[in-house]
Amino acid sequence: MTVIVVANPKGGVGKSTLATNLAGYFAAEGEWVALADLDKQRSSHAWLSLRVDTLPKIEEWVIDIDTPAKPPKGLEKAVVDTPAGVHGNRLALALELADKVIVPLQPSMFDILATQDFLAKLAKEKAVRKGSIEVGVVGMRVDARTRSADQLHRFVEGLDLPVLGFLRDTQNYVQLAAHGLTIWDVAKSRVEKDLEQWAPIIEWVCKK
C-alpha cells in the first residue's frame, strides 16, 4: 500500500482540493483507495458523503489520533488530508504513515514565508533524508509562466525539494467539489487543461 499525505500548516492553500482529486484519480483507475482526514472538521469526509454510488468508490478511512491507525485490509492507495496548523502528534502520525508527502503552496511571498519553516522541517526529517519518505511541492492557483511560479521554483530548489507541477486558478474544482466530484469524474473535454496539469503530479505519485 502507498500512503500519500497532503500537508501544509498554512490554511487555504488547497489541501483538500489536492487530496480529494488525487483520491479520485486512483478510484478512476480502478484502484482500491481510501481517503483519511486528520482535520477535526472532516471536510474531506463531508465531501465523500456527497459522492453518489455510481461514481468510482473511495473508502472513508477514519484515523483516531489516540490509537494506532490501521487502514482497511488490502488497500492499494491511501490519501491523507491534514488540517491547517498541523503539528505535534497529528504531524508525527501523518509522517509515520506517509510514503510520499505533497505540500500544496500558493506562490505568493506571504504563503512561501508562512510555509518556509514547515518545508525546512520536512527536509530535515530522518525518513526524508534517508529517502523512505519523498516530498514534493505543488504550486496552487498559479500560472506556470509567471514570475510567481519562478519565485516558487527558486525557493523550493533551495530546500532540495522538487516542484511537481502547477494547478491553475479555476472554478472547475469548486463546482465539482460541491457535488462530490473530481476532474476524473467528468468529460475530459470539460477539464482538459486541468488534466494536462495533473500529468507530472500523477507521474511522481505513481513512481515506485
The answer to whether 104 and 86 have CB atoms below 8 angstroms apart is no
pLDDT at residue 56, as a whole number: 96
Q: Going by DSSP bridges, is the β-strand pair 2-6/134-140 parallel, antiparallel, or unpaired? A: unpaired
Q: By three-state DSSP, how is residue 2 classified?
A: strand
Which pLDDT does position 122 carry in this prediction?
Answer: 84
Q: What is the pLDDT of residue 64?
A: 76
CA 94 – CA 79 distance, rounded (Å)? 10
| Sheet bearing 59-61, strands edge to edge | 59-61, 33-37, 77-81, 2-6, 100-105, 134-140, 163-167
Q: What is the pLDDT of residue 68?
A: 57
Which residues in the chain land under pLDDT 70? 67-69, 144
Distance CA 76, CA 1 (A): 5
pLDDT of residue 69: 62
Strand pairing of 77-81 and 33-37? parallel
Half-sphere exposure at residue 30, Cβ-oriented, CA atoms within 13 angstroms = 0
For the entire predicted model, the pTM comes to 0.90
The Cα-based distances of 46 to 17, 40, 208 in angstroms read 13, 11, 31
- Rounded distance, CA 21 to CA 169, Å? 15
7 near 100, Cβ under 8 Å? no
Domain ranges of the chain: 2-206
Backbone angles phi, psi at 48, to 5 degrees: -60, -35
49-88, pLDDT tens digit by residue?
Answer: 999 999 999 999 888 777 656 777 788 999 999 878 777 7
Return the C-alpha torsion angle 4, 98, 139, 149, nearest 10: -140
* Matching residue, cell 504563503: 111
The x, y and z cell numbers of residue 154, run together, are 527558486
The CATH code of the domain at 2-206 is: 3.40.50.300
**How many whole angstroms separate alpha carbon 153 and alpha carbon 109?**
12
